[in-house]
């Protein structure tokens, strides 16, 4: 039951903000005839979740065993019965126990008589010793015999008490708690065994089913996001359209390794007043890590849109100019010159069908547009904004040209992404893909 984090990323805010103004490029004129699918940027509730699954189990489960070997005479409760603490559950046959009790009673009578005789003998020998008619050794021997007989009497009393207790207590197996019978594993006439490797389990009791627990496994990559008290939402296959809720009550620190995958056990507690949830059901859970209401969101697919290469190239150069705005003039000129040279080389290689070396893939990329900035110009362009991650959203202007705006992103949930520091773009139609 490995957990799987939904694709959720939180992008950090940096110390340097990139000037975000809406940029329009005349190079888009050749692409004005292209048609794009768009979506309106709006507000919605959004949340970050971690997914997992686990088994429902009753709280306070108790296994009822037998402390006595014998044959079952009566089974007094059945599945789903409600029981009280001290209520009889099973009665064992006591015929052999009664015979054993009579044997213990006879042994006790014998031990008591022997002790009384030994005590009387010692009292008599002590009087003889006081009259100098018996040696120290003889008196000590007489006393030792009395002590041995007293120990034998105590042992006989213990055996008798045990035999009596077996009949009065252990032959009638009682419920240790107030609860409900989840499982019955014994039938009339069966022989139950105690004090061995095959101890017989008679019943499984639960305190109640009003409160249930889910024992889930969370992946080591996600466990840092889980905390006690966190809200949890889950479903079960028996009621696929019904949402249940619970909360994290325990995070166990012992790792569980399966096929080189490390998980940690998380216990979730949930209320079950209607009795829909039953032990053993599989719960598909979502741990709610973060939840925001009325957040500005955009379809996540908008960040996967790739504009035509000439527009992207113009956008990257404009972004580089903005990033170098606070640099010395010589450094800006050198970086832009290197960028233009790379662009010419990339165009030549693209025309020749080559995609290696300083080709298109090595050109500086717009945030969120993929690719790595590997050239000198790219290094110069990113050094000023290395502390902030921004991504691009593309828009189509009235005349058909494309423009973009860079934004910071927050919570990613399902098909939507939260926008941070996005300026006044609510209500705009953002490009999702080309038709």
pLDDT, one tens digit per residue, over 92-138 is: 999 999 999 999 999 999 999 999 999 999 999 999 999 989 899 99
| The pLDDT of residue 434 | 87
Q: Is the pLDDT of residue 361 over 50?
A: no
Does the pTM exceed 0.85?
no
User: What number is the average pLDDT over the span 167-183?
Assistant: 92
Q: What's the CATH fold of domain 94-170?
A: Helix Hairpins (1.10.287)
* Tokens of residue 176, six digits: 């240790």
Asked if pLDDT for residue 408 goes beyond 70, the answer is: yes
Which regions of the chain carry the CATH code 2.40.30.170? 52-60+205-292
The predicted pLDDT at position 14 comes to: 29
Measure the CA–CA gap between 38 and 236, rounded to whole angstroms.
Answer: 37
Comma-separated ranges of CATH 1.10.287 domains in the chain: 94-170
List helix spans (H) across 289-418. 309-323, 329-351, 376-382
Backbone angles phi, psi at 387, to 5 degrees: -90, 0
Burial class, 430, CB count within 10 angstroms (exposed 0-12 / middle 13-18 / buried 19+): buried
Let me know: does 59 contact 206? Beta carbons within 8 Å.
Answer: yes
SS3 87: coil
What gap in Å lies between CA 326 and CA 15, rounded to an integer? 14
Assess contact for 43 and 295: CB atoms under 8 A.
Answer: yes
Least confident of 165-179, 209-223, 240-254, 339-353: 339-353
Is-contact 331 380, C-beta < 8 A? Answer: yes
Residue 33 has pLDDT above 90, yes or no: no
State the pLDDT at residue 2: 52
DSSP structural state of residue 17 = P
Q: Would you state the structure tokens that stand for residue 86, as one six-digit string?
A: 């001290």
DSSP 3-state of 156: helix
Confidence of residue 422 (pLDDT cuts 50, 70, 90): confident
Give the residue-averaged pLDDT of 250-254: 95
pLDDT tens track for 267-313: 999 999 999 999 999 999 999 998 888 899 999 999 999 887 777 78
Element (H, E) at 122: helix 95-130
The verdict on domain 52-60+205-292 having CATH code 2.40.30.170 is yes
The DSSP element (H or E) to which 430 belongs, if any, is strand 429-434
What mean pLDDT is reported for the chain? 82
Least confident piece of the model among 84-93, 122-131, 368-377:
368-377
The model's confidence at residue 195, banded by pLDDT at 50, 70 and 90, is confident
% of the chain exceeding 70 in pLDDT = 83
Q: What is the DSSP letter of 390?
A: -
Q: Work out the end-to-end distance of the chain between its first and last CA atoms, rounded to an integer number of angstroms.
A: 40
For residue 409, pLDDT over 80 is answered with: yes
Give the strand order in the sheet containing 201-206. Answer: 62-65, 201-206, 179-184, 82-83
pLDDT of 60: 86
């Amino acid at each position: 039951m490995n957990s799987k984090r939904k694709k959720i990323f939180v992008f950090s805010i940096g110390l340097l903000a990139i000037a975000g103004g809406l940029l329009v490029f005349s190079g888009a004129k050749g692409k004005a005839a292209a048609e794009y699918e768009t979506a309106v940027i709006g507000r919605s509730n959004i949340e970050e979740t971690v997914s997992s699954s686990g088994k429902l189990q009753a709280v306070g489960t108790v296994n009822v065993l037998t402390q006595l070997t014998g044959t079952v005479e009566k089974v007094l409760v059945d599945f789903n019965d409600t029981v009280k603490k001290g209520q009889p559950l099973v009665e064992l046959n006591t015929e052999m126990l009664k015979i054993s009790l009579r044997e213990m009673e006879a042994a006790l009578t014998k031990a008591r008589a022997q002790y009384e005789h030994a005590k009387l003998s010692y009292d008599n020998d002590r009087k003889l010793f006081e009259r100098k008619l018996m040696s120290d050794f003889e008196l000590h021997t007489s006393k030792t015999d009395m002590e041995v007989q007293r120990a034998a009497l105590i042992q006989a009393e213990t055996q008798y008490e045990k035999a009596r207790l077996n009949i009065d207590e252990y032959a009638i197996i009682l419920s240790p708690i107030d609860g409900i019978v989840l499982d019955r594993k014994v039938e009339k006439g069966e022989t139950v065994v105690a004090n061995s490797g095959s101890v017989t389990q008679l019943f499984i009791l639960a305190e109640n089913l009003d409160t249930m627990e889910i024992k889930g496994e969370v992946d080591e990559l996600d466990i840092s996001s889980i905390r006690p008290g966190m809200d949890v939402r889950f479903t079960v296959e028996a009621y696929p359209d019904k949402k249940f809720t619970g909360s994290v009550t325990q995070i166990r620190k012992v790792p569980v390794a399966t096929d080189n995958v490390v998980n940690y056990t998380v216990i979730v507690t949930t209320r079950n007043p209607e009795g829909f949830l039953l032990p053993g059901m599989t719960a598909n859970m979502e741990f709610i890590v973060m939840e925001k209401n009325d957040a500005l969101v955009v379809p996540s697919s908008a960040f996967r849109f790739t504009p035509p290469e000439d527009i992207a190239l113009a956008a990257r150069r404009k972004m580089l100019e903005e990033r170098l705005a606070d640099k010395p003039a010589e450094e800006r000129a050198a970086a832009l010159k290197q960028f233009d040279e790379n662009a010419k080389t990339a165009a030549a290689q693209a025309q020749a069908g080559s995609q290696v070396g300083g080709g298109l893939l090595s050109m500086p990329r717009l945030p969120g547009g993929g690719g790595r900035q590997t050239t000198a110009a790219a290094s110069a362009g990113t050094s000023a904004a290395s502390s902030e991650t921004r991504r691009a959203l593309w828009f189509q202007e009235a005349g058909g040209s494309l423009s973009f705006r860079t934004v910071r992103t927050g919570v990613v949930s399902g098909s939507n992404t939260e926008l941070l520091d996005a300026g006044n773009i609510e209500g705009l139609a953002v490009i999702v893909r080309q038709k």
